[in-house]
Structure 1
Amino acid sequence: MQRVFSLSFVLLLHAAILWALWQHRLIPAPHEAMTLFVNFIAPPAPVKKPEPSPPPKVTKPKPTPQPAPRLVAQTPIVAPTDYVAPPPPPEPPRIEAPLAPPPPPAPAPALPAGPVALGSELSVACPERTPPSYPAIARRLGEEGTVVLRVELDETGAVVSAQVKTSSGFSRLDEAALAAVKTWRCEPARRNGQPVRAVALQPFKFLLQ
């Protein structure tokens, strides 16, 4: 039912549009219509293209028959067989004993600990030395004697300690020798090219003229 109603509505809508167009003279009246005559013109006949001429035939020359080759029986030539000596059996692989590791380097000789003992008097290695002064009291009292001192030098050649190894018998003479030797400046002793501490003995003789 709904489909019939939709179809009727469409027809009425088209009729209303046609009537409106006719009222505005957009559609001509039947008596104003003109008869149009249409003449159909036949299309031109297609132009035939000339067919290409066939290529000339090339005549192949006939092969000249050749005589069949003659079969000549040949005696097979057997090459002399060379005698090849079999290769010698491979030598067994040599098993080399592993090389012994090199012996460890000999340790460097241990340097003696402590200062180096000089083989000569200390005065030989001391360019700057002041002789001891004779005490006036010992001179008046007539004191004479020889004192031997044990002197120790540091790495720079300076005297760091001094003590009496052999006394002269008079304390004033021993103290004068100690006071003088402590002002000395010596060349440092060396061990393997390096300056080291050293010890030396130095005698002092006190004689009255």
Structure 2
Amino acid sequence: RILSAGKSRWSNLFAALFVCAFWNGIVSIFVGIAWTAWKKGKPETFLMIFLIPFVLIGIFFLLNVPYRLLMVFLARYELRLTPGTLKPGGTATLIWKRLGGFGQPKSIALRLSGAESATSQNGKNSSTATSIFHDEILAEIPLSSISANRPVAIKLPENAAPSFKGSSNKLVWKLRMDITLPGFPKITDEYEIDVRPLRRDELNP
């Protein structure tokens, strides 16, 4: 089974755009009020001082947009998992292939993680709580071995819970690839995998 990187890089970019537009859109209204008052010779001193931290946060959100855009075009990989579906206590082999992007990674780390999330509804508001119950480093691959594409072995715990997606609860297993590029913050790509429950004939007597 071929696993393509999740849409995390694009999702982070769109989220950064939304937060930047939303935050700066609201702040700009009050900045406009303060600017108009200052031009009329009646500066709103308290308002201008009050807005300083909000403007600084807005600048941070603005600078985050080109950073997230840059992340989209850095080195990216696809993973091949054999077999494509895992089971509790089962094993699999993982290899990777570079799809493109620029930059030569200094190192790559592969991790296996499992997380459970629950969404609760309170009137019109909803909140989601996420708990990571498994986080394991599978391999740390230096620059000299990245191109060699050596297989990485995966073994799920015997008591691993199978994947599940309900209306308000879900349990998700993911492979995470941490890519370290010189001069850039670490990039983390996520690849969701399926973990099936054991069949009756696979259960211990």
**TM-score w.r.t. length of structure 2:** 0.15
* Structure having the larger proportion of residues in strand: 2
* Structure having the larger proportion of residues in helix: 2
**TM-score w.r.t. length of structure 1:** 0.15
| Higher RCO by CA contacts (8 Å cutoff, separation 6 or greater) | 2
Larger Rg: 1
